[in-house]
Amino acid sequence: MGKSVYIAEKPSVAQEFAKALHVNFKRKDGYLEADEHIVTWCVGHLITMSYPEAYDENLKKWRFDTLPFIPGQFKYEVIPAVKKQFDKEYTLRPKFASCKNICDFGKTKNS
């Protein structure tokens, strides 16, 4: 059976959430793991939308005649500075039974 996975926006939030679960977690590289739970974090954004030149090199320079640019299918890229954490979370996927976002929406004004 898979584990419940909780994804926080940063390590400090993940650690506080893990404490609140009152479960014995073991520290791993990029996440905390217990028998039935995994708590991990994103260190900010892990993925970003691709720039227009990823679709067509001619779109690298902005021109009125190419606007608006609305692709048929959006492309995304892993942000290089956080690729290690993205790869870590991607390898955890087979352990997922459920995945929950535990980011602090109030602080970022996204509520």
**Segment 10-51, tens digit of pLDDT:** 899 999 999 999 999 999 999 999 999 999 998 888 999 999
Mean pLDDT within 83-90:
90
In this prediction the pTM is: 0.72
What average pLDDT does the segment 82-89 reach?
91
What is the spatial distance between Cα 33 and Cα 3, in angstroms, rounded to a whole number? 9
Residue 55 has pLDDT above 50, yes or no: yes
- Spatial contact of 5 and 92, defined as CB atoms under 8 Å apart: yes
